[in-house]
Structure 1
Amino acid sequence: MVTILLVGFMMINFADKAVLGLAAGPMMRELGMTASQYGAASSAFYAMFGVSAVVVGFIANSYSNRRIILIMVLVWGLAQVPIIFFASVVSVFMSRVVLGAAEGPANPIAVNSAQKWFPDDQRNLPTSLVNLGAALGVVTLAPILSLLIEAHGWRSAFVAVALLGLVWAVLWSAFGRDAPGVRPGQVPGSEGSVALDSHITRAAPPTGDRWISGIDRVPYRNIFFSGTGLSVLIAGFAVYWSIALLVSWIPLYLSGPMALDPAAAGALVVLPWVCGAVAIPAQGAVSDRLLQRGVSSRGARAGVSSGCILTAAVAIAGLTLVSATGVKLALLAIGFSVATVQISVGMTLIAEITPLRQRPAVLATTTAVTGVSGVVAPALAGRFVDAYGAGNATGYHVVFLLTAVLFLAGAVCLAVFARPVRDAARLARLGRAEHAAEPVD
């Protein structure tokens, strides 16, 4: 029930992000917004995104994730109110700043809440399902919101997402729960606590979580600068880069250099999201099955994800070499979808080497760092497109080749440096040594 609710949570999360773009045309005409003003409002969403992700992530180390999630979704709804009733250029800008700040921690906190209900060898699928919410949001909610805008005006879309958030908040209040086990702020193994991950210390599967289980804390720098931590950050940066391009520039690529009519471009832009909706849960199921059959976490998680990212790199590079429309669409769908499995894999890998109490902060910081590429990629792509002309494919192809290079770097880093069992064992020894060195009252 919790996992299903969190999938819905991420679907609404996408709708809140996308509604501005879907309503942009009529809204800009009514409010007299220039393209520069609209661009500034769109960028405003990311102004506090990473900062809030880190801050709330650390707060979530000590407070109920259930309550934090409820507060976030209520703020999402309230952030739409100024646009609905007091629409202006300024209110749109401020609304997006508040919305971005409230949505920055959403994915890592939701993933952490789901993961805590499952032993380590069963976390891949629920993590994938939660991350699947964004793709499901594209496929299901974008057409509905577009129809609402066409039939009832652009404000109706903002009303709809606000009401969706309110309905979800009621369901979460009734059925949402924090996982049983260690209470927020309580040290595993202390009196009155239940070591949530203690059952993972059995001989199988061979994952790092069985080493880190029961450790109170380790220095954050040691987590992020481990081989596993660095590979997750590098691969995640590449994947978020591609997602930012998919949202901002692929529709223009379809209607520009590929010369598809707007209706066809609007329909075909969903293709990568549909492929992602298949790839993400498939990876989770495959990785869980491999773990349960005794394959190491390095192979079942990092290896599977590395293969997916490498496939995406080849597809995106191939996209610059072919001319047939059907082949281009197929390569585009593969290149901008299969690598997204790393979002789920990265969160599972980083959780595997992180003590239970520190996971919310670590997951949130990972999202903040990898999400930086979402700020850089669209702007850099715009410079290349401007340099060669909006109707010329060359600028787009330069960006695609750069994306393929980033994918290749991410795939290699995962394959070579992601060693969660080794890193978790080393971090556990470090955590025990630091605990032993603490003075006793």
Structure 2
Amino acid sequence: MPGLRRWLVPLALLACVILSFFDKISIAVLISSPAFQADLGLTGESTKLGLLMTGFLLSYGASSMFLGFLGDIFSPRSCLYAMMFLTAAIMAIMGFVDDFGVLLGLRVLLGIAEGPMFAVAYTIVKRLFPPKEQARATMLWLLGTPIGATLGFPFTIWVVDQFGWRASFFAIALLTIPVVLIVYLVFRNLDVTTRSPALQHSDQSHVPLSTHRSATTTLLKRWSFWSICLFNVAFLAYLWGLNSWLPTYLVQDKGIDLDQAGMFSSLPFLAMLVGEVLGAIISDRFDRRALMCSISMLGAGLGLALVLSIEGSNWAMIAAMSFSAAMWGVGAPNVFALLAKATPSDVSATAGGIFNGLGNFSGALVPVLIGSLIVATGNMTAGLMFMMAMAFLGAGVLLPLVRRY
């Protein structure tokens, strides 16, 4: 794909990530809705409510680790279509559910369907863009994380307020239609499969399992790969703590009404978006991926420390939370660029799947852990302190890689 048209690819992936983030965070709004809690018998059941996010993340992480390799073997474009159709069907079915156990099961299936998304997107960018452009290309589709949250929280709150909580599932399922159209228009003449290093001199349409197994074994022996994976565990623990409990924190701890909480919930994710853009531009210029990631998490931890120190001003609190989220955003495109720099191209989807899956699988414990801390302490302070500790852990774990990458 010549010239500027290449940049339509990460923009199409951006639409996919925004949609998938609507799927992810819609439940965070619902668990703060009294009507949703009453209809499913979950009033006062904070641990069960957290389990709705944790169940999704556990299956999402496992799917990313064990199904991400499909992007190395088959067409990433076909993987995108399959994921979108499956998630739309599951979201539509959720709108008819009356039982907590059934809803939890569907959340698990949703995680399985969406698990390979980041691995596939990462693989497409690595195959189509040179290293000097990868942070910016990655940033474009990773912006789906803050944009999805920025739009998703107020959109879901509005739908729930106007039409009820069931309508939120149907609305998100319908949004799949324009996203599939965008992907079709951008990818219809693009064959990223043949750009795989394992297929460049072959007439085969997929990579033999024996070839892929050998390359994967080499990948798993690299200590630098596992260091980056450990960083991502801490990185995503912060993100899912914020995604899962921010509206509840604002409503229950700070006494902000639900409508205003929608606006307040959006501000940290707008800041996160700005952080991602700046982080990508600076990192592509200086190519110091590990250093940028470490600085990112240090700033995120310091921002949370400010949040915990502020009393009496909700605007000052949300400003500190936004600073923390912006610093987290600086690391988002850089961590994928760091992974690309430190891993072989012929197992990019596998590396991305393990990396993303392990991070989300571990991060899956965060929502239910914070839910349990809320029950035990009666407020969110302990949860924020846990997120802050994970941020500082992430800042330190990459220090041995700073000079090399």
**Is contact 2:156-2:168 (8 Å) kept?**
yes
Q: Is 1:77 paired with 2:95?
A: no
Q: CA deviation at 1:237?
A: 1.4
In structure 2, what residue type is equivalent to 1:235? F
Aligned partners of 2:184, 2:168: CA distance in 1, in Å?
24
Given the alignment, which residue of 288, 296, 310 partners 1:308? 296
Residue 266 of structure 1: aligned partner:
262
Which sections of structure 1, spanning at least 5 residues, go unmatched?
194-214, 291-296, 391-395, 422-441
Go from structure 1 to structure 2 and tell me whether the alpha carbon gap of 1:180 and 1:119 turns closer, same or farther (over 3 Å shift).
farther
Q: CA deviation at 1:260?
A: 3.6
Q: Is 1:61 paired with 2:57?
A: no
RMSD over equivalenced CA pairs, Å = 2.9
Aligned partners of 2:261, 2:192: CA distance in 1, in Å?
49
Which sections of structure 2, spanning at least 5 residues, go unmatched?
1-7, 205-210
Aligned partners of 1:253, 1:406: CA distance in 2, in Å?
19
Aligned partners of 1:181, 1:137: CA distance in 2, in Å?
26
Q: Is 1:407 paired with 2:396?
A: no
- Pick the structure with greater CA Rg: 1
Residue 8 of structure 1: aligned partner:
15
Aligned partners of 1:398, 1:78: CA distance in 2, in Å?
37
Aligned partners of 1:21, 1:398: CA distance in 2, in Å?
19
Go from structure 1 to structure 2 and tell me whether the alpha carbon gap of 1:144 and 1:319 turns closer, same or farther (over 3 Å shift).
closer
Q: CA deviation at 1:347?
A: 1.6
Aligned partners of 2:276, 2:187: CA distance in 1, in Å?
24
SS in 2 for 1:323: coil
Given the alignment, which residue of 333, 337, 340 partners 2:326? 337
Q: CA deviation at 1:225?
A: 5.6
Given the alignment, which residue of 11, 15, 38 partners 1:29? 38
Residue 365 of structure 1: aligned partner:
354
SS in 2 for 1:123: helix
Given the alignment, which residue of 120, 131, 142 partners 1:131? 142
Go from structure 1 to structure 2 and tell me whether the alpha carbon gap of 1:179 and 1:89 turns closer, same or farther (over 3 Å shift).
same
Residue 172 of structure 1: aligned partner:
183
In structure 2, what residue type is equivalent to 1:129? L
**Is contact 1:61-1:357 (8 Å) kept?**
yes
Go from structure 1 to structure 2 and tell me whether the alpha carbon gap of 1:321 and 1:89 turns closer, same or farther (over 3 Å shift).
closer
Deviations 1:4-56 (A, max 9, x none): 11101011001111223334533343454553654444433134212211222
SS in 2 for 1:187: helix
TM-score, normalised by the number of residues in structure 1: 0.78
- Which deviates the most, 221-230 or 407-416? 221-230
Percent of aligned pairs with the same residue? 22
- Which deviates the most, 259-268 or 356-365? 259-268
Residue 374 of structure 1: aligned partner:
363
SS in 2 for 1:183: helix
**Is contact 1:228-1:418 (8 Å) kept?**
no
Given the alignment, which residue of 126, 136, 144 partners 1:115? 126
Residue 4 of structure 2: aligned partner:
none
Aligned partners of 1:7, 1:114: CA distance in 2, in Å?
12
Go from structure 1 to structure 2 and tell me whether the alpha carbon gap of 1:38 and 1:123 turns closer, same or farther (over 3 Å shift).
same
Q: CA deviation at 1:109?
A: 1.3
In structure 2, what residue type is equivalent to 1:167? P
**Is contact 1:309-1:339 (8 Å) kept?**
yes
Q: CA deviation at 1:103?
A: 1.1
TM-score, normalised by the number of residues in structure 2: 0.85
Q: CA deviation at 1:131?
A: 1.1
Map 1:18-417 → 2, pairs under 5 A: 18-24=25-31, 25=33, 26-33=35-42, 35=45, 38-85=49-96, 87-176=98-187, 183=194, 187=198, 190=201, 220=216, 223=219, 226=222, 228-290=224-286, 297=287, 299=288, 301-323=289-311, 325=313, 326-390=315-379, 396-417=380-401
**Is contact 2:97-2:103 (8 Å) kept?**
no
Deviations 1:362-415 (A, max 9, x none): 10110111113322223333343333323xxxxx44443443333223223323
Deviations 1:167-220 (A, max 9, x none): 322332332258657627762652569xxxxxxxxxxxxxxxxxxxxx998654
Aligned partners of 2:12, 2:21: CA distance in 1, in Å?
15
**Is contact 2:297-2:395 (8 Å) kept?**
yes
Aligned length: 387
Judging by fraction of residues, say which structure has more helix. Answer: 2
Q: CA deviation at 1:268?
A: 1.2
Aligned partners of 1:128, 1:185: CA distance in 2, in Å?
22
Aligned partners of 2:283, 2:189: CA distance in 1, in Å?
25
Aligned partners of 1:57, 1:388: CA distance in 2, in Å?
38
SS in 2 for 1:249: helix
Q: CA deviation at 1:251?
A: 2.8
SS in 1 for 2:143: helix
Q: CA deviation at 1:154?
A: 2.4
